[in-house]
Structure 1
Amino acid sequence: MSSHINIIKLSVGTENVEGLAAWQATKRAQAPDGSPRHVTRMWPKREAEILNGGSIYWVIKGVIQCRQKILRLDEYIGSDGIRRCSIVSDPKLIRTQGSLKRPFQGWRYLKPEDAPLDLPEGRENEEPLPIELNKALAEIGVL
């Protein structure tokens, strides 16, 4: 049994993994040290498990397409004075096998045994499949 837990999050408005990388390269999407971050309202109750090897899995166009190792959780106080959680991740986006995911709000925990596998060595730089084909293949369990 694994002693870590992952997070899954929708990447709203993103068309592909490259679009997510481009967004994360902007100053607005970076922690003060330049690492990519995602600011969320809720602080994870399972913080220790997340920081014990967890990743953030990104759902793009209804398919889990990549993940990033979570480095830390930082406190972020917005201009409204409300405390939020900044999920800071490794800049490296690791492509995963496509896995369909229905829309949801916020983020969710993702058990390691339920997470899609990373793409095999050498496939991470292949041209991505069209979204509809990726969805169709994931539906029949080919990816």
Structure 2
Amino acid sequence: MTRVAVGCTDYTELVQRIRRYAVAGEIAFPTRFRPKRADELIGGKLHFIVRHMLVGRVEILRFQDRSDGRVDIVCKARLERVHPQPKRAHQGWRYLSEGDAPAGVDDDSGIADLPPELYRELAALSLI
């Protein structure tokens, strides 16, 4: 799934936001409706869009009904950085196929630390 990190200007701010709202190693993201494919999303990832780029993801643990009729997407409060990938902003959440999901950053190349605009230009030139 993808979700826009409204108000975040970069990956660092998203990390701080998740730390600030985490409780017992979990964080809940409210949504109006339970996804139709909720059962198959458990154990999957919720990817975040910051400034039109997918930048990070958290693992989805469960979907929990709230007393106000909304649903919480409960995730591990551990943000995993991914190789930035262009993605248009949208309202709410969207499904992301496994083949379209960006790879996690598990190297020390520094590519993921590039500013989104520079990353976008280098990717357009097929340099990364």
Q: The TM-score by the shorter chain falls in which range?
A: 0.7 to 0.9
Q: Does 1:45 align with 2:39?
A: no
Identity %: 30
Aligned residues: 128
Aligned pair in 2 of structure 1 residues 64, 138: CA closer, same or farther (>3 Å)? farther
- Show the counterpart of 1:83: 69
Offset, 1:140:
4.0
Alpha-carbon separation, structure 1, partners of 2:112 and 2:97: 28
Aligned pair in 2 of structure 1 residues 11, 139: CA closer, same or farther (>3 Å)? farther
Alpha-carbon separation, structure 1, partners of 2:71 and 2:44: 16
Aligned pair in 2 of structure 1 residues 142, 38: CA closer, same or farther (>3 Å)? farther
Gaps of 5+ in 2: none
Using structure 1 for the length normalisation, give the TM-score.
0.78
- Show the counterpart of 1:129: 114
Q: How does 1:1-143 map to 2 (within 5 A)?
A: 7-26=1-20, 29-30=21-22, 33=24, 35-51=26-42, 53-77=43-67, 82-123=68-109, 128-143=113-128
Q: Secondary structure at the match of 1:98?
A: strand
Aligned pair in 2 of structure 1 residues 68, 141: CA closer, same or farther (>3 Å)? farther
Aligned pair in 2 of structure 1 residues 139, 84: CA closer, same or farther (>3 Å)? farther
Alpha-carbon separation, structure 2, partners of 1:121 and 1:115: 17
Using structure 2 for the length normalisation, give the TM-score.
0.87
| C-alpha RMSD of matched pairs (Å) | 2.1
Offset, 1:25:
2.2
Alpha-carbon separation, structure 2, partners of 1:76 and 1:43: 11
Structure 1 consecutive aligned stretches of length 4 or more whose deviation exceeds 2 Å: 120-123, 137-143
Offset, 1:134:
2.0
For 1:128, the aligned partner's letter is: D
